[in-house]
Structure 1
Amino acid sequence: MATGGVRAAALGLLLVAACALRPQGAAAQRYNAIWSFGDSISDTGNLCVGGCPSWLTTGQSPYGETFFGRPTGRCSDGRVIVDFLGTYLTYTLRFDRHGRRRRLAGGDFKKGANMAIIGATTMSADFFSLIGLSDKIWNNGPLDTQIQWFRQLLPSVCGSDCKSYLSKSLFVVGEFGGNDYNAALFSGRSMAEVRGYVPRVVSKLIRGLETIVRAGAVDVVVPGVLPIGCFPIYLTLYGTSNGGDYDGDGCLKSYNGLSSYHNALLRRSLASLQRTYPHARIMYADFYSQVVHMIRAPQNFVSVITECEHGRLVAKPRGPRVSVHDRDRSKACVLMDGKYNYNNKARCGMAGAAACSDPGNYLIWDGIHLTEAAYKAIADGWLKGPYCNPAIQH
């Protein structure tokens, strides 16, 4: 896509927040806006503004079926984390339950915007050209570009008083890094080579965060990367007959080791960034630990679904929505054959792919992304802890 086309899509605020509600027991904290940056974990449909293109598998059925009843461009069966954060922390209203647009942005982004886009990387095109992987990067929305979109918006949003305005906003930056490593791993690069990229990826992310903080951001959530060795796509593509390659959770050790290395370096770097900018509140969101804990003990993650009744959101306990059976913990909900319900040649969104009847009882949706139920539990863990340090609600 041309740069202008991506930019026009990326600047649309696509957070779902049907009513204003705080999670039960949470502090009465609100932000005037949410600014989101990231990849398919955070994208709320930026490639589907005006309709999902036919070539985009994540824009086809059964994506979106749980909440919206149709594909919206989100890489899940329903809402993603930033949707839930938008519901809890702002008064924003853009879409109703069925994905119909209630109020067009019309260039007014005072409640924030979501710059995240499927396939986004931390590193820019010159890095991938340097390592011979430029043909593996298919969009032009890396971190630097998303920050550029954000900065271009600011004059129309906050005029000459942006630092005061942004100090009352929540920033969610990431996750970033997953697609940088995927580009190399899926191209056959060795694990040792890919691990060598980690310091550069983390350094690039920190420089981006510094730009955002200097612009006026105060409350900034920075997620680490997921335990990729537990996901069906990696288990299917890189599974072995050697039991020693797997940990006690049935996940591939070396791939989770890559994620752990990234996250450890990121946490150290964020601590240094916090010391440099003591006025900011930099929060590390621990994707890795929470997903591993959900795999080990899904019954501990009781989700409370929120529904809109008479103009307000009502919390309704639904039991352990991420309560998969032991044999299904590393299976995708979308049935695509194979040991883990994943077939790389017949992915979700392609002809013949059909979802399980109970996605709320699955952790993983399509082999590489999570279900709405999992994202809901993760959002709760970030809002109130213990999977965000410090917790967003304070």
Structure 2
Amino acid sequence: MAPPNCCSPSPLPLIRFLVGILSAVLLTFPRPASTAGCFKSVISFGDSIADTGNFCKLTPAGSMCSPPYGETFFHRPTGRSSDARNRLEQSSSPTTAGCSNLFNTSLFLLGEIGGNDYNYALGLKMTTARIQELVPLVVNSIGSALQEIIKLGATTILVPGNFPIGCIPYILTNFRSSNPQDYDSSTGCLVRLNQLAELQIELNRSRKLHPHANIIYVDYYNAMMRIYASPKRFGFTGGVLKACCEGGGGGGGGSILGGGPSMRPCDEPSTYVNWDGIHFTEATYRLIAKAVVEEGLFTSPAFNLSSSSSSCVRGVTAANGRNSTFPDRDSLPNRGVGLIVQPAAAMVLVNLLFLVVVGGMSSSG
């Protein structure tokens, strides 16, 4: 694919490209009769970080459809880009609740957007200055997508920022620098690439345009930097800037998503931050979810579901804990429509980890 046109004055081409790879994932759970503030569903837009098996339905031979993916929880590959569950799947049981008043009773997750755009540009060996030109386009695309879902009736939308790209094992492996000043001395991350992850958002403008909508920024960047700054505090004693799976970045080389015999997982994935060089382990996802859902951290304005009703969000378990009530993926109904286009754009909708996915989508656009 040709390099994206970073200098286009219009965000529409990028928006069309982003829409091509967005996947709509619907998660539902019962609404307690005594609790008026609970969301009936979560509607998220995402790719491999939020995917629960759609990629494998569309591309059965895909790398995420082979071991060791899924080994920690499902003990087999399910299409999730992790050792177990992703951030959308930690707390509740799926149901087949009705869709009346779906939009205004749903929590929308829009993003994070831009990670794949930046990664793709890095793969094309663009300079950091050149990649910086993508940021306004990505930001405008976020704003355009936000306007669209609000027009459709969405009233509560979480808009996450990007992860610290300069801490990803795949990036650290493929973009090594001989200059020590390029690295953060406290974390070992590449500083110049992390600057790309500081999302420049136009959410204040959107809030003024739509005062009835509750638009919430989720700071994934600092949520992850807290882990990178003090990994042992959170139980990550095996690896922080190195992937659990050999061949997934860090000291194991630069290849990623290499499911199969050649991809050798570490003994204890829960002690690693990263799973395959790009995606995180379930332990990492759970920590971020706990920070946002239980502790009410890293959101602006403040957003804390568990403080409003313990019935809305069932507590996030310990990092190694298995949720015995979580159903096997094959028992979950397939719903929704998935659209996937190669190869880059919008690392969309990650994972707030507090509901159980209702299933993978089976059709493509």
TM-score under structure 2 normalisation? 0.70
Q: 2:289 corresponds to which residue? A: 379
Q: 1:256 corresponds to which residue? A: 194
Q: 2:119 corresponds to which residue? A: 182
Q: 1:336 corresponds to which residue? A: 247
Q: For 1:225, give the aligned amino acid.
A: N
Q: 1:298 corresponds to which residue? A: 231
> SS of the counterpart of 1:92?
coil
1:220 and 2:157 correspond: yes
Q: 2:221 aligns with which of 288, 293, 298?
A: 288
> SS of the counterpart of 2:81?
coil
Q: 1:241 aligns with which of 178, 203, 207?
A: 178
Deviation at 1:300, TM superposition (A): 4.3
8 Å CA contact 1:283–1:392 kept in 2: the answer is no
Q: For 2:71, give the aligned amino acid.
A: E
8 Å CA contact 1:41–1:175 kept in 2: the answer is no
**C-alpha separation in 2, matches of 1:208 and 1:337:** 32
Tell me the C-alpha RMSD between the 2 structures.
2.8
1:39 and 2:47 correspond: yes
8 Å CA contact 1:39–1:176 kept in 2: the answer is no
TM-score under structure 1 normalisation? 0.65
| Higher RCO (CA-CA < 8 Å; seq separation 6+) | 2
> SS of the counterpart of 2:69?
coil
> SS of the counterpart of 2:55?
coil
Q: 2:208 corresponds to which residue? A: 275
Q: 1:92 corresponds to which residue? A: 94
Q: 2:142 aligns with which of 205, 210, 225?
A: 205
**C-alpha separation in 2, matches of 1:346 and 1:374:** 18
The alignment-based identity, stated in percent, is 37
Unaligned runs of 5+ in 1: 1-5, 22-26, 94-107, 112-156, 159-163, 302-322
Unaligned runs of 5+ in 2: 1-18, 309-365
- Write out aligned runs for 1:1-394 (5 A): 10=23, 13=26, 29-49=37-57, 53-54=60-61, 56-84=62-90, 87-88=91-92, 91-93=93-95, 157-158=99-100, 164-248=101-185, 249-260=187-198, 263=199, 265-266=200-201, 269-301=202-234, 323-325=235-237, 328-336=239-247, 340-345=250-255, 347-384=257-294, 385-389=296-300, 390-393=302-305, 394=308
Over 3 Å counting, the alpha-carbon distance change for 1:29 and 1:371 in structure 2 is: farther
Deviation at 1:388, TM superposition (A): 2.3
What is the aligned residue count? 282
Deviation at 1:365, TM superposition (A): 0.6
Over 3 Å counting, the alpha-carbon distance change for 1:284 and 1:296 in structure 2 is: same
Over 3 Å counting, the alpha-carbon distance change for 1:171 and 1:189 in structure 2 is: same
**C-alpha separation in 2, matches of 1:216 and 1:197:** 29
Q: Show CA shifts across 1:90-135 (max 9, x none).
A: x524xxxxxxxxxxxxxx7x56xxxxxxxxxxxxxxxxxxxxxxxx
